[in-house]
């Protein structure tokens, strides 16, 4: 007999099929700030500005490639706020076929 263990107890609320509440509010606030700041943009650049703002909003709410449980915006905030005094190991860029397996 196998026992099933719940992996995740809480699940985020969704507004639509793939849009979460947190992302929805971020998109609303980001869109509002983009509309307010569009007055500072030259008239001939309004269309590229709108396309760029939309792409940035979607890119920031997309899932992070390195951290699957977070969004790109959350990953950027964590990177900016991290402690610089913590030791981070340097990864050796050399490949194993070069005969340097023991080098770290």
**pLDDT exceeding 90 applies to what percent of the chain?**
38
Residue 104 lies in a domain: no
Q: Tell me: pLDDT of 17 over 90.
A: no
Q: At 53, is the secondary structure helix, strand, or coil?
A: helix
Q: Tell me: pLDDT of 68 over 60.
A: yes
Residue 89 lies in a domain: no
Residue 96 lies in a domain: no
Query: CB 104: neighbour CB atoms within 10 A?
Result: 8
- Residue 69 burial (10 A CB sphere; 0-12, 13-18, 19+): exposed
What 8-state DSSP symbol labels residue 1? -
Residue 39 has what pLDDT? 93
Residue 29 lies in a domain: yes
Residue 11 lies in a domain: no
Q: Tell me: pLDDT of 29 over 70.
A: yes
Residue 27 has what pLDDT? 93
Residue 62 lies in a domain: yes
Structure confidence at residue 94 as a pLDDT band (50, 70, 90):
low
Q: Tell me: pLDDT of 44 over 90.
A: yes
63 touches 52 (CB < 8 A): no
Residue 101 has what pLDDT? 54
Residue 53 lies in a domain: yes
Q: What helix, strand, coil percent values describe the chain, rounded to 5?
A: 50, 5, 45
Host domain of residue 74: 21-81
Residue 11 has what pLDDT? 76
Number of domains the chain contains: 1
Average pLDDT over residues 44-54: 95
pLDDT mean across residues, the chain: 83
Residue 7 lies in a domain: no
Residue entry with tokens 């194993």: 96
């Amino acid at each position: 007999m196998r026992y099933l263990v719940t992996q995740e107890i809480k699940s985020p609320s969704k507004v639509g099929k793939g849009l979460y509440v947190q992302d929805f509010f971020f998109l609303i606030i980001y869109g509002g700030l983009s509309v307010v700041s569009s007055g500072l943009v030259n008239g001939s650049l309004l269309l590229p500005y709108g396309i760029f703002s939309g792409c940035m909003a979607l890119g920031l709410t997309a899932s992070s490639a390195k951290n699957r449980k977070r969004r790109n915006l959350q990953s950027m905030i964590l990177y900016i706020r991290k402690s610089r005094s913590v030791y981070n190991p340097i990864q050796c860029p050399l490949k194993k076929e070069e005969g340097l397996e023991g080098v770290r």
